[in-house]
């Protein structure tokens, strides 16, 4: 089994060999490492992307808006991912953006995952009835299990989710009240044994 370090290094060198800058190559490699860490087929899809890159001539997108579409070939997931990382704090204000025709959408996932960490919000990524939840670059939740990832996402949607507790105020108060039973009432002996207590000033 290949180590994550080996996967990242080889992915970076392969990306550079395909003509990307070292900076972009490093971002892609981190993403492939993340996908493989979560058990998603990053290496497989990156290979397929490289095999079709010249033939398909995937389109680049400079500025991400509320509605985005490719005019000829599908949007390049690497270019789109880099742009999303660069613009995420502005895109966040849109709250939701849509894309038509994105190539190898799995390669976009790690960029969205890192974006979630940057803005401190969960990000929802939906395409063709498949849904992913990016959680602060800690994990990726999905209803996409044991399926073959599509080469093209005909329609994709990215949404920013507001941070909310998964419990009610009553549930929190009940739990907090229970936790209070572990609080130790401060006594005179505890005060004397506290840090710094009992020290004499020799000056």
As a three-state string, the secondary structure of the chain is CCCHHHHHHHHHHHHHHCCCCHHHHHHHHHHHHHHHHCCCCHHHHHHHHHHHHHHHCCECCCCCCCEEECCCCCECHHHHHHHHHHHHHHHCCCCEEEEEEEECHHHHHHHHHHHHHHHCCEEEEEECCEEEEEECCCEEEECCCCCCCCCEEEEEEEEEECCCCCCCHHHHHHHHHHHHHHCCCCCHHHHHHCCCCCCCCCC
pLDDT grade, residue 149 (50/70/90)? confident
Say how far apart CA 110 and CA 28 lie, in whole Å: 8
pLDDT at 56: 87
Is residue 159 scored above 90 in pLDDT? yes
Q: Crossing angle, helix 4-17 and helix 22-37, to 10 degrees?
A: 140
pLDDT grade, residue 98 (50/70/90)? very high
Say how far apart CA 133 and CA 38 lie, in whole Å: 13
pTM: 0.84
pLDDT grade, residue 183 (50/70/90)? confident
Query: Which two tokens mark 196?
Result: 């710094």
- Of 58-62, 92-96, 145-149, where does mean pLDDT reach its minimum? 145-149
Average pLDDT over residues 75-97: 96
Q: Where are the domains of the chain?
A: 47-161
pLDDT grade, residue 198 (50/70/90)? low
């Amino acid at each position: 089994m290949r180590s994550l370090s080996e996967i990242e290094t080889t992915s970076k060198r392969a990306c550079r060999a395909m003509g990307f800058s070292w900076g972009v190559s490093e971002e892609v490699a981190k993403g492939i490492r993340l996908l493989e860490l979560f058990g998603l087929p990053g290496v497989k899809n990156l290979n397929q992307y490289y095999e079709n890159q010249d033939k398909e001539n995937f389109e680049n997108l400079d500025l991400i808006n509320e509605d985005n579409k490719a005019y000829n070939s599908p949007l390049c997931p690497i270019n789109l991912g880099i742009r999303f990382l660069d613009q995420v704090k502005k895109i966040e204000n849109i709250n939701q953006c849509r894309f038509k025709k994105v190539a190898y959408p799995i390669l976009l996932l790690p960029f969205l995952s890192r974006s979630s960490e940057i803005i401190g919000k969960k990000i929802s990524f939906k395409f063709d009835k498949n849904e992913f939840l990016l959680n602060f670059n800690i994990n990726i939740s999905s209803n996409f299990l044991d399926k073959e990832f599509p080469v093209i996402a005909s329609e994709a949607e990215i949404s920013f989710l507001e941070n909310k507790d998964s419990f009610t105020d009553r549930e929190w108060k009940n739990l907090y009240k229970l936790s209070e039973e572990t609080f130790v009432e401060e006594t005179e002996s505890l005060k004397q044994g506290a840090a710094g207590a009992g020290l004499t000033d020799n000056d």
